[in-house]
Each structure stands twice: as structure tokens, then as C-alpha cells.
Amino acid sequence: MAARRRAPGSDLDFLREQLLDRWPIEYAVLGPIVRADQAGMRNADYAAALCRATNDWTAREWLDSDPRLRSSIVVPVEDTAYAVAEVERVAPDPRFVQVYMQIKTALPMGNRKYWPIYEAAAHHGLPVGVHFGGVGGHPSTAAGWASFYLEDHAGNAQSFQTQLTSLVFSGILDRLPNLRIVLIEGGVAWVQSLAWRMDRAFERMHDEVPHLTRRPSEYVAEHFWFTTQPVEEPPDPRSLSRLFADVPALRDRVMYSSDYPHWDFDAPDQVMRTVPMSATDRAKMMSENARALYRLPAPAPADAGE
């Protein structure tokens, strides 16, 4: 009998069996989900301690044990001083490749309250990864509390749109030209319409945001990355090919994600399998965009003298 397994996502051997060894996975970036958001932030000292413990545990139990693994720095986002201190503490370990937030924040992400976190990330050359979920203290949709998980899940895509909008109009992207934001588990296909809508709004209301030096769509193309799972699935998969042609920046910005171990996991050899795309674009999506963003070393040649 094999040793009793812990829950999926908390057992390295099981992760290897179900994911890392089953497919040819070079690197996997972990995204620990920690209750250090608004819901867990009533006690900021506790939230900060929880984040420190999680990052230490991740390094010791996971990153030390498998060279394929990288991770994300979890921070108590609603207490900026603590969050910055944690970025400073962990960022020197190169196996942590991004600062991690969840999409449901107490204030829209462009709010100046959060800017020190972005400054710390940019200072260390780290992207900020923003993952589905969290508790910001607000109703789950822009129109109030939804009744069903279906609405909550699909509605997260709308929170991603709101956060992108807030970041673009806030001016932080002018202030930190090398800030890179990764939107994780929020979908991709909405970005074209949102960029149009923001440009249209900017034409009429730019007096309100005179700090912007460019059109909103230009910030989107330069500062935002997206991950596949749960990528939109149009009835005709070619709709996504057309979208990628119409928004060329997406070819360099979309990265495969698995959502392992959740209920809507995508396998690497299956995701967007029916979407016509060049081999080059597929390689970018599956490997090269993430390799460039997270500065992951290329694989050593097989005969590298070992």
C-alpha cells in the first residue's frame, strides 16, 4: 500500500504523479492561496505571520525538493507596510518569481494604497501575479451579491476587467514603466473590447486623468500578461485565432496555466487544442512567454558534459 496521500495540491509526490511527471513540464510556478486578504486582515499581525510562514514553508517543503518548482510571494495585501517588508525579505530568493495577490481586493488595485507593493515588485524586477478569488469585503459582483457559484466564478472575469481598468487609469504604469501584471485565471478574450472601451472613454474624459501619457490600449499591450485556464471557449474555435490576430500583443502575453488541483483543470496537451495557431505561437503560449517573463533558464543541452 502506498502511503496515505494528503489533499491534491498539498502533496508533492501526488503533484508529481498527477502533473509534473505525467506531462513534460519544465517549470511549474506555484500559487499558494492564503487567507491574508481583507477577510483575513482583521488582524494584520496574524495575516503577516501567515504569509511569512507560507513563504518559508513553500521554500522548504516544495522548492527545496524539486528543481522544476518556482513560487509566488504571498503578501498581506491590505497592510502595505507588512506586504512590502515580505517582498523585501523573500525576493532575494530567485525561486520566487512573482508577487502574489488575489483579484478581490478592498479597493481597486490602482488605488495608491497599493503602490508601495508595486514599487517593491518592480524594484526587484518581479511581476505581480493576480489570481482568481479572495475576499475583498464587497459583494461578489458589481451589481450586488450573486446567489450562485456559477455567477461568482464567471463574474470573477469582470473583477479582472475592473482591476485592469483601475491600474491603467491610476497612473502607476507611467510611474513604474517596468511593472508587469499577470492576470491569472481571469480569461483572455475580453481584453480587446475592454481596450476599445477604455480608449473611447479616454478620448472623452482624458481631462480627469491628465497623468496618462498614452492611450489606455497602449498600457494594456505593454504591461499585462494573461494565463489560459479557464480560457474562453467560443462555439467556433477559430474565433480565438482571429482574436489573437486582431490583438497581436496577445501572442507574447498569453501563458499556459493548469489551475491544478481545482475542478476545472486544463491539461497542457489539451488546452486550446482545437484553436488553429502556428507552432511558433503555441510554443510561445506553452513555454517561451513564461520563460521570458519569469526569466526561467532554457533547458541545458542533453549532452552538457554531465
Partner 1 sequence: MSRHVVGTPADVPPGEHKVVTVDGREIGIFNLDGEFYAVRNRCPHQGGPLCSGIRTGAVSSPGPGRYDYDERGTILRCPWHQWEFEITTGRSWCEPDRVRVRAYPVSVETGAALAAEPGERVPGPYTAETYPVSVEEDYLVLDLSGRAGD
Partner 2 sequence: MSLQYGGLTGNPPTAVGWPTYLVEEWVGMATVAQSQIMSMIAEGVFDRFRDLRAVVVEAGFSWLPAFLWRFDKNWKGLRREVPWVRRAPSEYVREHFRFTVGPADLQPGEPAALQHVIDDMWGADLLLFGSGYPHDVVARPRDAVPGHFSDPEVEQVMSGNARAFYRLDEPAGIGGRR
Residues engaged in binding partner 2 (CB under 8 A): 103-111, 136-144, 146-151, 153-155, 157-159, 161-163, 165-166, 169-170, 187, 189-190, 192-194, 196-202, 204-205, 208-209, 230, 232-234, 236, 239, 242-243, 246-247, 263-264
Binders of partner 1 among residues 238 to 267 (CB under 8 A) are 263-267
Shortest separation between residue 152's beta carbon and partner 1, angstroms: 15
- By C-beta, is 264 or 303 nearer to partner 1? 264
Does 157 help bind partner 1 (rule: CB under 8 A)?
no
Site string for partner 1, 205-244 (x = CB under 8 A): ----------------------------------------
144's contact among partner 1, partner 2, none, with CB below 5 to 8 A by partner kind, is partner 2
- By C-beta, is 264 or 306 nearer to partner 1? 264
Question: From the list 273, 278, 280, 299, which residue makes contact with partner 1 (rule: CB under 8 A)?
Answer: 273
- By C-beta, is 31 or 155 nearer to partner 2? 155
- By C-beta, is 27 or 190 nearer to partner 2? 190
Amino acid found at 181: I
Would you tell me which residues interact with partner 1 (CB under 8 A)?
263-267, 269-271, 273
